[in-house]
Structure 1
Amino acid sequence: MLSSWRHWLVVFFLGLAACGEGVEPQTDDALSERQDSLAPVRLRLMAANITSGNGQDYSLGHGTRIFQGTDPDVVMIQEFNYGSNSATDIRAFVDTAFGPQFAYYREGGAQIPNGIISRYPIIASGEWDDAQVSNRDFAWARIDIPGPKDLWAVSVHLLTASSSVRNTESAALVSFIQSNVPAGDYLVIGGDLNTDSRSEASFSTLSQVVTTAAPYPADKNGNTNTNASRAKPYDHVLVDTDLRQVQTSVVIGGSTFSSGLVVDTRVYTPISELSPALASDSGAASMQHMGIIKDFLIPGDAPVSTVTVTSPNGGESWTASSARSITWTSANVTNVKVEYTLDGSTWTVLSASTPASAGSLAWTLPSSQSTQARVRVTDTASASITDTSDGAFAITTTGGGTGSLIINEVLVNELGSDVAGEFVELVNTGSAAVSVGGWTVWDSGTMRHTFPAGTTVPAGGVVVVFGAAAGIPSGTPGAVACSTGTLSLTNGGDTVSVRNASGTIVDSVVLPSTLTGTDGVSANRSPDLGTGSTFVLHTTLSTQTTSPGRRANGSPF
């Protein structure tokens, strides 16, 4: 993901680049197939003025096939025209030639615009004025390539007028770069310089910011020239010293080009290595120039270290002194420290160092009760890489609540038609508190209520789940509103159950229609709290029709 400062750069520079088109930051998923964070990443840079036909555009498909066959990561493209030049058409061209995951920037308002197309996210972009020409400028993009440095790519198309004009353009470009590009980032200038020879003054000028010395890319026959007739070195990929140090051979199929490649499909063999490009593509009518490719092995991103507690992670109810396991997941961590707390502030170390790859640690729980217990797992090499249970869990002395929390009373057929008055009464018949965080109340096969983490029912205590808050009578002990907004109990007979956080049924009662069909009269255990007793109509135990939160006779539990 882009860090927060990169996000604000995107917002800021999008405003600066409003006159251009197409900046599209990507998600990390789009890069997963190309980026290995544990090893150097191959980065293929390409300069391309490879339009064909009379329109100075890519509509005829010759350049598109060359792009597809060479598979570049970042292209500094010239004469960036296609179809009607609408945003839809330009996007379609990028999708076809490179892929829908690629981002692009295309300068606006230019007859033959320069642009940048990138496999990696473009986090800022724009254009610098080329005062010597009216139909294009210098297009630039800041790209979030793998590793700690960004890549600044500049797409240029200098004039054919004269070498002195080209040198003036180069001097202006150098000034822009020195004023805007951080010295610590990578820099590449790529494009059609229209240089008649490698001795032109513009190369000396550009050498202030990039390296211009040999060796130079060449085709299969060793020719380093790039114009259509292959007589002049028009096109270049020029990088700064940092990138030059990590330049590597271009490898395509079984072919290797130690200094980079001049892509001329007419002489490339076997042409199948550039599929779907055709041998005739570089010789198409009015094909401008040859594409130039250089490859680099840049350092990948530093591996991200993480630790995540998976259990207990909140809502569990574990028995004191029982044998359990603390579990976690981790990445790029060697050893972890494992701790627990019973009060949320005082931590006890279970293991000062255990292999992170084990993913679990056996734990015999303390004999003390707690409703605020949590565990914490921390990288022993970095205390900042740590994770704690998302919520509190309970340590109880009552077998985790099994057999101590029972369903004592249920009102299925509410008085009148207000289903908010339906309720399920649960009573803790044990001798210690029961944590019910994460426990659920079910109506037949449908979960109707979940108790929030940290909820406990004290020994002898009661909790009554009503269909909705509007149905709770004033003064009802332990009353809560159903978390889903309704209990939806069935008047023709129903099954009500309560389950613990792991999904085990703690108690369940089947209520026939004889106990659910009387309007406003609940079904109650007879006698109250009898774990083996049957349910009867409340009116057989008392003159009252219901007694939510109290015994059938109205007295407290």
Structure 2
Amino acid sequence: MLAVLAACGGEDSALEPVGLDGAEVGQRQDALGEVRLRLLAANTSSGNGQDYDPGHGIRIFQGTDADVVMIQEFNYKSNSAADIRGFVDTTFGTQFHYYREGGAQIPNGIISRYPIIASGEWDDPYVSNRDFAWARIDVPGPKDLWAVSVHFLTTGSSNRNSEASSLVSRIKANIPAGDYLVIGGDLNTGSRNESAFSTLSQVVRTAGPHPADKNGNTNTNASRNAPYDHVLVDSDLFAYQTPVVIGGSTFTNGLVVDTRVYSPLSDIAPALSGDSGASGMQHMAVIKDFIIPGDSSPGDNASVTVTSPNGGESWAGGSVRDITWTSTSVTNVKLEYTLNGSTWSTLAASTAASAGSYAWTVPSSATTTARVRISDASNASVSDLSNAAFTITTAPTGGTGKVIINEVMVNEPGSNVVGEFVELVNTGTGVVDLSGWTVSDAASLRHTFPSGTSLAAGGVIVVFGGAAGIPAGTPNAVSASTGTLGLSNSGDTVTVKTATGTVVESAVLSSGVSGTDGVSANRSPDLGATATFVLHTSLSSLQSSPGRRVNGLAF
């Protein structure tokens, strides 16, 4: 089984995943396979530059020995890859992995003892100088840990609640319910009664009791009178919470690290008593510990193995080929593919593992770096991918392509917005290179096609709000790169633009075709480039037909 590191929009460790040495494993994993996992949230930069150059935060990190850190204001020296790698090596160790969002003034990030197998950032639409950074971490045991590092606004509780709402929608659209989740960071919350906590409680536990310092104070700002900083976990991980034990001290509900009151200070050496009171240090670090099932836990025998394509094959774009696999103790599997080794597209969010085969219409995008990944649909840590890359070939190009918006699901079935979709069809006679093309609605840009994406003549591609909303067997389906489509049920306008911003197609969807739950808007007639949109049920007995003609047949 191979692990793929997908660094989306930022810097990540160039090292291959490095295992813990025998002594360290012995300290963290007992004979029954249980592992102590320490999670830390820290906006502990100091000085005048919102960075870790002065060293106060570094000493706090070194003294508290965390496994996963959700760090804010992740700046160090020149912020070059070498400087950031040096910071991680010096502060945590050369075996640690990291993700740091790119292009931000005060970036968020994640630092992990365990391999980061995917990472990226979700747009925080309410602030311009940082986003929500996330990482999927291969912690010991049958589940992955998804860590999200956040830094909410200081200006107003309503703004923070809006940020919380945006974050929750991203989490629901992208993180499997069966994995562990932690949100950690600087929420800038003035009290525990802010509405942001109620919003976040949809995906994590926000109720007390809360971490506290040596004196029992649970507040985390510099003056210790407001709860700015948090480690919030989902119910699955909360079930394994355990007291934080450092030296001879036990903190039942977790620890707020304030070196000004901690004793004996030698337990968290090399931290110094003045570190938490340093100039520019506006926050205290927060720790929670968990004892999770390890890799050797009894009954942990589920497995999936890709058998085809497994490396070296050459498949023609547009042809139908079988993806095959074997599995043990797995009910349903998720199927994905990549054309470039880092950006993954979902073929089926959940299909029966016992089938062992899936008919795939190979995308018409020439590449020599394609792979397929198959995972347990309810436990993403059980997965496998092609042992080596395979090739996709395309016929010589010719003719002229024409991309239209043919079908849009504005009002998703039920209330899960991952089911929204936009269907694009090439009705022309030539291949269209979609690299850098975008899909937007009236409010925001929602999806950018990755480099190497193309659409063959007569081909279709469907952009869904989230991977979990893609029905099994949907041809050439992908999830929105921003984590949502966010279409308005009262009417919306969907626009497709080229990489240079030229409008290719714009579909105005009235309230009449947007307000019926679970029924899409479709061109009438189907594939009519200038045809109006009508409710799908007025054209066939189907409520929608993503990736297929209005009658459910293939294009």
Q: Does 1:75 align with 2:69?
A: yes
Match of 1:188 in 2: 182
Match of 1:246 in 2: 240
Taking structure 1 as the reference length, what is the TM-score of the superposition? 0.52
| CA distances 1:389-425 after superposition (whole Å, capped 9, x unpaired) | xxxxxxxxxxxxxxxxxxxxxxxxxxxxxxxxxxxxx
Match of 1:173 in 2: 167
Q: 1:262 and 1:78, CA in 2 relative to 1: closer, same or farther beyond 3 A?
A: same
| CA distances 1:316-340 after superposition (whole Å, capped 9, x unpaired) | xxxxxxxxxxxxxxxxxxxxxxxxx
Deviation at 1:230, TM superposition (A): 0.5
Secondary structure of the structure 1 residue equivalent to 2:24 = coil
Q: 1:164 and 1:23, CA in 2 relative to 1: closer, same or farther beyond 3 A?
A: farther
Aligned mate of 1:22, from 8, 13, 18: 13
Match of 1:225 in 2: 219
| CA distances 1:452-488 after superposition (whole Å, capped 9, x unpaired) | xxxxxxxxxxxxxxxxxxxxxxxxxxxxxxxxxxxxx
Q: How far apart in 2 are the matches of 1:258 and 1:277?
A: 22
Corresponding pairs, count: 297
Q: How far apart in 2 are the matches of 1:23 and 1:195?
A: 35
1:54-65 paired onto structure 2 within 5 Å: 54-65=48-59
Deviation at 1:25, TM superposition (A): 4.7
Moved more, 48-57 or 22-31: 22-31
Q: How far apart in 2 are the matches of 1:82 and 1:288?
A: 17
Aligned mate of 1:297, from 288, 291, 311: 291
Q: Does 1:33 align with 2:17?
A: no
Q: Contact (CA 8 Å) 2:110, 2:135: kept in 1 or not?
A: yes
Deviation at 1:32, TM superposition (A): 6.3
Q: How far apart in 2 are the matches of 1:163 and 1:120?
A: 35
Deviation at 1:38, TM superposition (A): 3.5
Q: Does 1:93 align with 2:87?
A: yes
Q: Contact (CA 8 Å) 2:109, 2:149: kept in 1 or not?
A: yes
Larger RCO, structures 1/2 (Cα 8 Å, 6+ apart)? 2
Q: 1:31 and 1:147, CA in 2 relative to 1: closer, same or farther beyond 3 A?
A: farther
1:481-520 paired onto structure 2 within 5 Å: none
Q: Does 1:212 align with 2:199?
A: no
Q: 1:79 and 1:231, CA in 2 relative to 1: closer, same or farther beyond 3 A?
A: same
Taking structure 2 as the reference length, what is the TM-score of the superposition? 0.52
Secondary structure of the structure 2 residue equivalent to 1:164 = helix
| CA distances 1:133-192 after superposition (whole Å, capped 9, x unpaired) | 000000000000000000000000000011000000000000000000000000000000
Unaligned runs of 5+ in 1: 307-557
Q: 2:151 corresponds to which letter in structure 1?
A: H
Aligned mate of 1:116, from 110, 129, 132: 110
1:369-408 paired onto structure 2 within 5 Å: none
Deviation at 1:113, TM superposition (A): 0.2
Q: Which has the larger radius of gyration?
A: 1
Q: 1:271 and 1:59, CA in 2 relative to 1: closer, same or farther beyond 3 A?
A: same
Deviation at 1:207, TM superposition (A): 0.2
Aligned mate of 1:155, from 138, 141, 149: 149
Q: 1:72 and 1:86, CA in 2 relative to 1: closer, same or farther beyond 3 A?
A: same
1:413-432 paired onto structure 2 within 5 Å: none
Q: How far apart in 1 are the matches of 2:204 and 2:132?
A: 16
Q: How far apart in 2 are the matches of 1:189 and 1:94?
A: 21
Match of 2:478 in 1: none
Q: How far apart in 2 are the matches of 1:108 and 1:298?
A: 32
Q: Does 1:53 align with 2:17?
A: no
Deviation at 1:33, TM superposition (A): 1.5
Deviation at 1:213, TM superposition (A): 0.3
Aligned mate of 2:252, from 242, 255, 258: 258
Q: 1:297 corresponds to which letter in structure 2?
A: I
| CA distances 1:102-141 after superposition (whole Å, capped 9, x unpaired) | 0000000000000000000000000000010000000000
Secondary structure of the structure 1 residue equivalent to 2:169 = helix
Q: 1:25 and 1:150, CA in 2 relative to 1: closer, same or farther beyond 3 A?
A: farther
| Aligned Cα root-mean-square deviation (Å) | 1.8
Unaligned runs of 5+ in 2: 302-555
Q: How far apart in 1 are the matches of 2:217 and 2:238?
A: 21
Match of 1:138 in 2: 132
Match of 2:228 in 1: 234
Q: 2:261 corresponds to which letter in structure 1?
A: V
State the identity as a percent: 70
Q: How far apart in 2 are the matches of 1:23 and 1:263?
A: 31
Secondary structure of the structure 2 residue equivalent to 1:123 = strand
Q: Contact (CA 8 Å) 1:170, 1:202: kept in 2 or not?
A: yes
